[in-house]
Each structure stands twice: as C-alpha cells, then as structure tokens.
Chain A
C-alpha cells in the first residue's frame, strides 16, 4: 500500500510541533513581557486635568516646595491633593482674573470640589504610606519624577511590585537627607552616603507581604 502522505510531511509535522510550542511559550512570554510595558503600567502618559495646572511653573519657576500644597505627605498615608482654598490662598491675590482659574473659582463659589484625574494608581490591595517614606529620606522626585518639568503630570515609574521591592530590598541608593526631600535637583555627592543615611534614619523596610498587603 502506498504511503498516504509524502515523505516531507514528516518534516512538516516536526516543524508544526515546534512552531506550536514556540507559539505557546512565546505567547505566554509575550503576555508576561507585555504586562511590564508602558502600555499596561501606564508610565509616561501625561493626563489631562480639569484645571490646566502647570507644575513646571509652580514647582520649577516659582520653586514652591511640594509640601506647600501636598501638605499631608509627612503625617498621613496620603500626600493630599490641595483643597480649592489652597489654590486661592495665592490666586485670590495674583492672576486672580486669569481664565485658567475659572474652574477653580467656580469650585470655590459653588462649594463643589474639583475632581482631578488620578495619575498614580496602586491596586486596591496595596497600602502605601507617604509619611513612612517621606520622613525616612525617600524624596518626592524618586517616585514622582521631575514634576517641575511636566506640563501635565505623568506617572514617572512603573509602579510594578518588582519596582517597589527592589527599593525595599536595598533602599540605600534612593535615600537623601531629610532636608532635601522636596528638592528636584539633589544628587548624592558620595555614592556611599545613602547607606549611611539608611543607618541614621533606621530605615529597615520590610519585604513581608503584610508590609504592603493587609
């Protein structure tokens, strides 16, 4: 009885099997890698806000300290989005007729808060505490990037668990003196300084699950 299939079909079968395996593992690998790309982590995407607030101007040109507006960063888990009244503390005096401030005045007069778009989104089962970081030498810029160069604020870091844990395992290189917390331009003069600070501030971030997941 003659063969039903030509000889080369054997090679084809082998190639098909290999191809399937590559596709299966490759597909899985692609999905795993894709999770880590900016398409999923959301980095580097400036988001539109209800008020065209420009950090370049406030944090850069005017050099207003981050904690003037985000005043809870040192004493609360949240850094705090400034209340409308904080904006008008200055802007009732300067630029008070600017059309860019119309939405702020509307908010104040109608007693309706401004609904800002959240830029840094952590999953619901992660509990992050600003005060624990800010009081222990982790600067604003370390996680939020050069906000003083952002017209519209974007997520500067991937916020993946690996990114968190990398620092929790070895916080030294990311630490700075407490006085420089809000500085946008501070650079460590001596690479060993971070580890000295870790000792001085008794920085010992856990990597236990319950450090962040509760």
Chain B
C-alpha cells in the first residue's frame, strides 16, 4: 500500500523527463536577454542627476521628540536614512528606528484608501463628518500621542480656541514619569529635565536606558563616548554606574552594573542622597528623614563609596532616573545632582516641550468615561493604537462603539482602525510636511521626499480639517505656522528646509533651584505608601528596543534585528535572572504563566545574566496582529498585564506544566567565550603595556598591494551594542530578511552582527558587545579553499566576493574562523514584495540563491568616492570614505580608512595599546582590528559591583 509521501514522490520516468527538459532548456539560457528599455524623464527635475543620489534633510519623531536625518534619494526613491550632523539629537548618527522607518514607507501592508465602515469613502465626506457637530466642539474628542511638534501644538491651541468645548486627550502605552508636574512641585515651576552627558564625568543611571529607550539617546551615547576614548592610563575617563532591573545597552556600557528591582531604585537613590548629605555636613534632620527609606536600599555596601566618588566629581556628577521610574526617583536624582553641584552643568531644565505638557489630566481613562456616558459624538484618534495598547480593564473597545463618528488615523488597518467607523491612512514621514522638536528644544522640519505612494493625510492635515473651513495642504499649514512665529521670510524657510534644523531654536534653560525639603518629604510619603507583598515577582514593562510598542511590527528589518542583550529575533520572552529561573525550575524556552490582577499570559522564559532577581522584564510590541501576516505576529502580547500608570507592577509567575519548551530564535547561542579571548577587556591602569600580538609564521606570503590599503577598527569601549550599524548595513547592502524558521536553522544573513559576551558571575556579569563583520584578512582562509576563485584579494586590501563566479560550495564559509560569510540558502530576494524593492540600493548586486555573500567594507562607497576624487583630480582624503556602519554609529566606535597613510585616523587607532586582532594566533592578519573594552571601575568596589 502506498502512503501519501510515496504517491507525491517523483517516479523514475517523470524524473528523467524533467532532467531532459532541464538540459534542453539550459542550452538556451546563454542567449541575450530580451530587449530592455531605457525610460528618460519627459522633463528632468533640475536638482536631480540620474545615477547620483540627492540628500534631503528631514526628521523623524518618536515618543514625541524628533531626530534629524538626511535621506538619500535616487531618482525620486528614498533609499537610505542617515543622521543629520547639524541636528543636536543626531550629530550625524541615526538609530535603528530612524533608519528602519524607511522600510515602512515601502510596506505593502499599509492602508491604501480612506474607508468608512470598511468601504472606500471620499475625503470630502470625511471633512463633512468632522465638521458636522456643534460649532463649539461639544462632543468632539481628540486622542493623540505625546508630541513636541510646534505645528501640532499650534493646531491644538487653535482647536481649543475655535472649539472651546472640544477635549484633547493623550495616550502612550508606557507613559513616562510626569516630570513636568514633578518640577512644578519641587522646582516651583513646570520645567523638564535635560541631562548633558558631555559635561558629566561620574554618572549614576538609575533604571535609565540613556543610550536606548530615553529620548536624545543618540546624543547621550555620543557625549558619553567622548569621555571614554583613552589611550594611556593618565587619560581622563568618565565612570558610569548602572542600576536597575533590566540589562540594557546602558548597563552593558557601565563600569559597574548594580542589578536591583525597579522598586528598590528609589531606596538606593535615597541612601545615596543620605550618604552624600551626611558627608557634606547637611543638617541632621534631613539625613534622618531619609534614613528609613535608605534602610531598604540594595547594594548597601557600595553606597558610601559611590557617594564618595560622586563627591569627588563635584560639578561633573549626574544622577538620572529612567522613564519607568516613579516621580520620587526623579526627585531624588535631581536632588542628588543638585547637592553635587550639577544643576546648570550636567543637568539643566528647559521649558516644557510637549504639546499641552502642563495640561495632561485628560488622559485615556477620562476619555473612556466620557465615551461610556455617551458624551462623545466625534472621536479623532491620531496615530495611536489604544485598542491594542490600552489596559484591558479600561474596556476601550466597548466604549468606542458608543461613539457616533469615530475616526482613526493610522498607517495600517490596525486594531484601533478596525474598531473605528472611519479609517484614514496616515502618511509616512517621508511623504509628509511637518516639524518636530528635539529634547533640547531645537526645531527641525519634516519635508516629503516622495509623493504619497497611496492616499493618506498627516496629523496636522486632519486637525486642520477639524478647525478650518477650507482644506489646506500640509506645506501651507507648515508655512502658515512658520509665518505666525514671526519668521516670514521665504528664504529662511528654504534655508531651514535645506539644513533640516531651525537656527537658534533650542529651548531656554532657566535657572532652577531644587527644594530639598520637598524632595525629602516626597520620599518619605512614597516610602509610607509602599505595600510590598511577599511571594510576588516584580513585573517590569519596557518597549522592545526594535518594535517599540508594536508600531514597527510590520517592519521586517526590525523584527529580525537581534535584541541587543538576548539576541532574540522575531519574538519576545520573559527575561529572568538566573536565580529566579532556578527557583521556578525554568530554563530557556520554558513556558511561564505570568498573572496579574486576574489576567494572565503564557510566555517563554529567557535567562539573562545580570537581570535583577525577583523581577521579570516583559517587552511590549509582540503578539499576533490583525493587519499583519502571522510571521510578523511572533511572540506574546503582554499588554493584558500592563498597568495604567508606571510600568512597574507585581505579579505571580509560575511554570506551565506539560507544555513543551519553546525554541527561541536567537542568533547567538552562547554568550561565553569558552577561554578564547575574542572580545577582550582591560582596565585603564593596564594601558601602559600594549596588547601583545601573537601572530604565527604565515605559510603564504601576504598579498602585495598599492595604496590605499583599507582597514577598520572598532572601539569596544564605546560600543553600546545599540545595533544601529546592523540596520545601516542591511539598508545599504540590500541584506535580505530570512524569517524566524531560517533563523532557527542558523541562516541569518546579517553581514554585520553584534556578538555579546558576558564574563564573570551571573549576578552582575561584565559584558562586551562586539560588532563582527568580515575581518578582511590579509591571509584570508576563505580564499585558499574557493575552487572557482570567487573570493580573491584586491590590490587595495579588500577580500572581494565575486557573486557571479560563486557556485555555492560553501567551502569558504567553513574555513572562515569568524563565521561572517552568509549563504543564500533560498532565493530570499525573490520574496521581497515588488513595492519594497524600490528601497534597494542600485549600487549593489542583488544576490541569487546558491551564492555566498559577506561584508565588503561597503566597496560601492569606496569606488564611488575614488571615482569622485579622480574626477576632481585630487587625492582621496582620509575620512572621505565612510562605511554605512561607521557613518551611523552614535558613539563613533568604528574608524575606517587606509593604513598605507600612517597619519590616517585608522592608523592612529590601530596604534592604540588596547588594539588587537581577533584570533590573531591563526595568522590570518585581519584588517579589522578591535580596541579592547577599557573599564574604569572604582578602585576597591570590584568590577562586579
């Protein structure tokens, strides 16, 4: 009896028929391809040169604040996002979100038409519906996310003026601590904090992911890195203490990692304040008031020493609390900075920047109450997704159904859009006019680089439709708002568009005085209000470093971007400390049930050394989505457990019995080095002696070449593992996305990966993030074994990969000690949707199935710069060629150039005492070298804290 599989198998006869047919058709494949066409413009735009990219400045807003970018356009298609050097939040760098947002422009799942009750509708009908209600705005409610955009702020003000009874609500999945309200209380006026890491030499980051989740992260990372480039023991170096439950890029960059639960953070800060005050000789009643709170501080043994270190850096000390910490932690951090003389130096305060910042009481619960009571006739939801992200206890969905006309502006037909009567597709930032403000107040403009691919409108345009009688275009709105600011000149507007930033628009920084007694009283009240419950585990909610709150779930680059810490892709897991996991009997992939207030989720565990015990970190942004294919709905939606206020809660965590463990799609299986010094670390004191090289005698003679000789160095001291370089490489080199199943088979394609190694105890390991890319070995093991010479050395020291010669033996990959070669197991590029192909870099070959590929040092950029320099009859300057990863690195960890020039930046960094080559004992003579991680621990405190 033949079973199913046998029947489907090929018969011998059919096989021979197919082989014959294949052989016969193979013979025809050599002929010329069918005639191709050349399509010129009818009238070429004057600013455009076909074949050459045109850069435009614009900006992206995330969590309310803007980051300036420069986007390269090729024949009208935006193909690459880089940072804007003139913008204070960017300084030339772009993070993962700014860069990957480019892919969202070409997202085929975007909504393409305005719909009403699911049917395509006309925009005039929507305008009519928006204006249909009472003229004074009774029953009109607007819900939006926080924004510092001056245009939107002006429109909200206009809405209040023209429709005085309209109400404006703000929603954010994980709202930050209300620092503006806090400032009103303890500074006497509403202000918002602005840390300046450039002036800080001793920093305590209290549950604060300065280089990741916080606004201004790129700038903070750059400022921090500037104080960490040491070459000699005598060079000054800043020191960072990282406190908090979750290992983050900031904690990884720290000299001392101090894991503790999120709840314990205020206690630690109180103890630190008490120690500092005591040493400063402050009145006894102040320190005594803090004593009860300080008594419960974690890492009590370290506090005196850290306080001493902070005091030794008077005027250069900074204590900063994170978004997820309660107001009291921020108050204590400000007080500490104040006592240490940092106010006005390491910490300034600016006027509030977010629209309606001082009037934030109309939050989501107020809206839901109004809806439930039937008072809401028209609801306009602007680019937020409360149907998915609001706490389920609010019953947002039920309430919306009682609204007569609900309008959702959203890029996709997401949960909120599906719930509302109207769904207006929102335009991508690269299709929009608008503006934004950075955390320091600098205004930047948003300009479209491409006409909308599909119909849609912006926040500003929809708000205008609510207020104004005649519809104005996005540009007209921006231009009017610009003129209203008293800056009428068209030239100034054009100049600002060209530069991307408005000159001298940074917010004023008024002097601020911290009322210490108010802080201490507040700390006392907070301690009294606390009711710890035994047996509960602390739940810490954080936005995913890639998908954020889920708004980037459609983005395949971000889905496949390995988490900076766990290296998990396409899904999330509950992060546990090793002891907590042992207590639960859990290992990687064990299913856990996490319950809070009657709701529970099941989520696989992942053990993260350095995570605080007694605490579990849950990442937002995952889980199935109604508007996305199942592949983009990996992981578990944790929103059912998210509390309404701060993202800290208590919950019960138990093991799910009987459910087979989940296979986690990680790109790095072990974070131990197994006694190989691949990622090295040193202390500042040891820099006197250079790394001892261990090259072996080479069997082959090194290849001869002519200048330039390309080389790269990566400074592990300043690398935070933020992964911006990985996305930059993916965008520049058309690196395919392979999906979760292929990741599980170890087939990820990233040319540049970031390996993370953890050494030392599991409680507080010392970690090193190491960008690993083709090392461009001078004596490359891959080259010896290629039977078809598909990988050969170039005269300028590159290990060239010739796709059209490659026959796919994979010998090169097997012989590569660094495992940086990637093989096209499938035709990944063919899976890319037609519209998404518009993003591809036309200067890079699209690789087919069966071909090996790897980092080329962005050879297309090298050749372009060389041709440009030769055209202008001048020598290529040092620093003129910048690889994509180098260009976007916020901390400037990557240096690239020619070592034929002894004065080049890369030659000088290679001469640093901590420079070394990975696996140099193999005699491969890599051109990519690393600068060992230099730590600056406080003597006597111990690196493990």
Interface residues of A (CB under 8 A from B): 31, 34-35, 39-40, 42, 47, 72, 74-78, 80-85, 107-108, 111-118, 121, 123-125, 127, 129, 131-132, 135-136, 202, 206, 208-211, 213-214
Which of these, A75, A113, A202, A208, contacts B41 with CB under 8 Å?
A113
CA distance A72 to B44 in the complex (A): 12
Taking CB as reference atom, which chain A residue is nearest B860? Answer: A214
The answer to whether B52 has its CB under 8 Å from any CB of chain A is: yes
CA distance A125 to B859 in the complex (A): 14
Interface residues of B (CB under 8 A from A): 30-33, 35-44, 49-52, 792, 794-796, 798, 800, 802-804, 843-846, 856, 859-860, 863, 867, 870-871, 873
B707 to chain A, nearest CB (A): 11
Which of these, A40, A83, A108, A214, contacts B845 with CB under 8 Å?
A214
CA distance A112 to B42 in the complex (A): 7
Chain A residues with CB under 8 Å of B30's CB are: 31, 34-35, 40
B863 and A211 contacting across the interface, CB-CB below 8 Å: yes
Chain B residues with CB under 8 Å of A42's CB are: 32
A121-B32, A124-B845, A211-B863 given; A202·B40 CB < 8 A:
no
B803 and A81 contacting across the interface, CB-CB below 8 Å: no
Chain A residues with CB under 8 Å of B795's CB are: 206, 208
Which of these, A34, A72, A108, contacts B50 with CB under 8 Å?
A72
**Nearest 5 pairs between A and B by C-beta?**
A208-B794, A76-B51, A78-B51, A81-B40, A118-B36
Chain B residues with CB under 8 Å of A78's CB are: 50-51
Q: How many interface contacts (CB-CB < 8 Å) are there between A and B?
A: 125
Which of these, A118, A135, A136, contacts B38 with CB under 8 Å?
A118
Q: What are 24 A-to-B residue pairs whose CB atoms are below 8 Å?
A: A42-B32, A75-B49, A77-B51, A83-B41, A111-B42, A112-B42, A113-B40, A114-B39, A115-B39, A117-B37, A118-B37, A118-B38, A121-B32, A125-B845, A129-B863, A132-B871, A208-B800, A209-B800, A210-B794, A210-B798, A210-B800, A210-B863, A214-B843, A214-B845
A40-B30, A76-B50, A213-B845 given; A81·B38 CB < 8 A:
yes
Contacts A85-B44, A116-B39, A132-B867 known; 19 new A-B pairs at CB < 8 A? A40-B31, A72-B51, A75-B52, A83-B42, A83-B43, A84-B43, A85-B43, A113-B40, A113-B41, A114-B40, A117-B36, A117-B38, A118-B35, A202-B870, A206-B794, A208-B796, A210-B798, A210-B863, A214-B856
Chain A residues with CB under 8 Å of B846's CB are: 124
CA distance A108 to B798 in the complex (A): 47
A116 and B38 contacting across the interface, CB-CB below 8 Å: yes
A68 to chain B, nearest CB (A): 14
CA distance A107 to B41 in the complex (A): 10
CA distance A36 to B42 in the complex (A): 37
Taking CB as reference atom, which chain A residue is nearest B49? Answer: A76
Chain B residues with CB under 8 Å of A123's CB are: 804
Taking CB as reference atom, which chain B residue is nearest A116? Answer: B38
Chain A residues with CB under 8 Å of B870's CB are: 132, 135-136, 202
Chain B residues with CB under 8 Å of A211's CB are: 794, 863
B871 and A116 contacting across the interface, CB-CB below 8 Å: no
B804 and A213 contacting across the interface, CB-CB below 8 Å: yes
A151 to chain B, nearest CB (A): 18
A208 and B44 contacting across the interface, CB-CB below 8 Å: no
A209 and B50 contacting across the interface, CB-CB below 8 Å: no
Chain B residues with CB under 8 Å of A113's CB are: 39-42
B477 to chain A, nearest CB (A): 28
Chain B residues with CB under 8 Å of A31's CB are: 30
CA distance A116 to B37 in the complex (A): 5
Q: Which of B43, B844, B856 has the most CB of A within 10 A?
A: B43
CA distance A77 to B863 in the complex (A): 11
Chain B residues with CB under 8 Å of A85's CB are: 41-44
A163 to chain B, nearest CB (A): 16
Chain A residues with CB under 8 Å of B796's CB are: 206, 208
A129 and B867 contacting across the interface, CB-CB below 8 Å: yes
Chain A residues with CB under 8 Å of B860's CB are: 127, 214
Q: Which of A116, A123, A208 has the most CB of B within 10 A?
A: A208
Chain A residues with CB under 8 Å of B32's CB are: 40, 42, 121
B856 and A84 contacting across the interface, CB-CB below 8 Å: no
Chain B residues with CB under 8 Å of A112's CB are: 42
Taking CB as reference atom, which chain B residue is nearest A77? Answer: B51
Chain A residues with CB under 8 Å of B49's CB are: 72, 75-76
A157 to chain B, nearest CB (A): 15
CA distance A77 to B53 in the complex (A): 11
B871 and A83 contacting across the interface, CB-CB below 8 Å: no
Q: Which of B32, B42, B844 has the most CB of A within 10 A?
A: B42
Taking CB as reference atom, which chain A residue is nearest B871? Answer: A135
B790 to chain A, nearest CB (A): 9
A40-B31, A213-B802 given; A80·B52 CB < 8 A:
no
CA distance A136 to B870 in the complex (A): 9
B798 and A127 contacting across the interface, CB-CB below 8 Å: no
A15 to chain B, nearest CB (A): 27
B40 and A121 contacting across the interface, CB-CB below 8 Å: no
Taking CB as reference atom, which chain A residue is nearest B794? Answer: A208
